[in-house]
Amino acid sequence: MRIKYKNSGRYVEYSLEGSVLTLGGELHLDLAALQRPYPQTIVISADRDGKLTLGAAWRYVAEIELPAAEFSVEETGVADDVGFPVLRKAWAEFSAENVELTLWALKEV
């Protein structure tokens, strides 16, 4: 996972175990489960009480750039009624290598 810092200061604590990203010890995101066949951006904000939430709120905390899930097309070994091979998508295993986490400094109290 690549990390970018938008400004200077103290940032939310984060950890990545397998595909689960934990932010601030309170928000757990399974990135593999969130991945789709198209790229997406997940916004993490803090409300006025400092609680982390998905989506835009009072203050930006982080953005997660999640790349599109990769797959290949493979034959199943079965033919349909007309004789054409039946195909299926084989999803690649999740890799955090291309995930980008952008962090904003937290408001000092």
SS3 call for 5: strand
Confidence at residue 50, expressed as pLDDT on a 0 to 100 scale: 81
Domain contains 59: yes
Q: Which domain holds residue 41?
A: 2-103
Structure tokens at 109: 């109290």
Domain contains 109: no
25 and 3 Cβ atoms separated by less than 8 Å: no
Asked whether the whole model's pTM tops 0.75, one would answer yes
Quote the number of domains for the chain: 1
Confidence at residue 109, expressed as pLDDT on a 0 to 100 scale: 53
Structure tokens at 41: 């951006």
37 and 69 Cβ atoms separated by less than 8 Å: yes
Q: Give, for all 109 residues of the chain, the pLDDT tens digit.
A: 999 998 888 899 999 998 999 998 889 999 999 999 999 999 999 888 888 888 888 888 999 999 998 888 888 889 989 989 999 988 888 888 899 999 998 876 5
Domain contains 108: no
